[in-house]
Amino acid sequence: MNVDIQASPAFAFATVSIPPGGEVQVEAGAMAAYSEGVDVQTQARGGVLAGLKRSVLGGESFFINTFTAQGGGTVSVAPSLPGDMRLMTLDGSQAMMVQSGSWIASDSGIEVDTKWGGAKTFFSGEGLFLLKCTGRGDLLVSSYGAILERTLGPGESYTLDTGHVVAFDESINYSVHKAGNWKTTLLGGEGLVTQFTGPGRLLMQTRSPADFLDWLIPKLPTQRS
């Protein structure tokens, strides 16, 4: 994809150029604008079962919008939360694991499927639900806050709060566990963390949506009887 990302890293806005006869698949609801001559089709990409897996397990929309342009055109996309976007290239050699909610758009040659993060994350309420992106082409991901990239060497480990994960190469092994002991978890305000072990690329976001909600919800007005 030929992508022009503007207003980074706080309020990223990406415009994707569609070549004549080309297409781009976009997460439902992420489209902000498109040019004349661009058509859109909404479908459960990969069939009904694949759409259900993305929706129920991955937290993504059941549907994916496919934009086409016989004579060429553009489609602009924007994430729901303020933050950055990053264009990643997959060469078909390995998959990219993307945190639910971070996938925005990709080439038609990229297949987006769901891989469950594990029972521990499911029952914690801080699920690390992952979308598995495979194939050849470009992949556009978004973040809450700025995106930082770290390359892990073979056997090198790095630990992140689950809310700060954006994406990582499938070559990276990961495990989810509590941050420290029970005292740290209950009194220190820390929940689950994910330990990543290289080799591979790891993308992280500088803000956590879950932490923002924890701060915001107590401040919302409540209805009194």
Q: Which helix or strand (DSSP H or E) is residue 43 part of?
A: strand 39-43
Q: Is 218 helix (H, G, I), strand (E, B) or coil?
A: helix
Alpha carbon distance 66, 40 (integer Å): 6
| Single pTM value for the model | 0.81
Alpha carbon distance 190, 161 (integer Å): 8
> Which whole number is the average pLDDT over 103-110?
93
- Which of 38, 35, 46 is closest to 22 using CA atoms? 38
List pLDDT tens digits, range 128-166. 688 899 999 999 999 999 999 999 999 999 999 888 999
Range with the poorest average pLDDT among 26-30, 48-52, 75-79: 48-52
Position 113 scores a pLDDT of 84
The DSSP code for 207 is: S
